[in-house]
Amino acid sequence: MSGDKVIEFSDFWNGVNITFSNGWCVSIQQGESHYCTVGKTAEVAIFDDKDNWYAFDEEKRDIYIPDEGTYVNGHLDADDIAKIISIISQEKVDIRTSK
C-alpha cells in the first residue's frame, strides 16, 4: 500500500496533519481548544488510510484500537509524539487489538 506523503497545516486549528506513504495520518494540534499545555505538550489523533481512529498507550508505548469511535491522546510531550510518528510511519503498522 502506498500513498501521497503530505504535510498540511490546519486552516482552523493551531496544528498540522502529516500523512505518510502507508496512508496513515497523525494530527498534532496545540491551542486553547485542545488537550494540551501550549508550548509544552500537544493533542494527537491517529488515523489509518480508511479514517479509523487509533490511540497511543503511553505506558506500553504502542498503538491500539480504542473502545470509542473517535479518540485523541492529550498532553503528549515531544518524545511521545516522536514515538507515535516512528510507529505509524512504518510500512506495516503494528496494532494491539486489546487493552
Which residue's entry shows cell 503494528?
A: 94
Per the listing, cell 491551542 goes with 31
pTM across the whole model: 0.89
Contact 19, 4 (CB under 8 A): yes
Q: What are phi and psi of 89, to 5 degrees?
A: -85, -5
State the Cα–Cα distance between residues 76 and 56, nearest whole angstrom.
Answer: 10
**Sequential pLDDT tens for the chain (99 residues):** 456 889 999 888 899 999 999 999 999 999 999 999 999 999 999 999 999 999 999 999 999 999 988 999 999 999 999 999 999 999 999 888 656
The alpha carbons of the chain give a radius of gyration, in whole angstroms, of 13
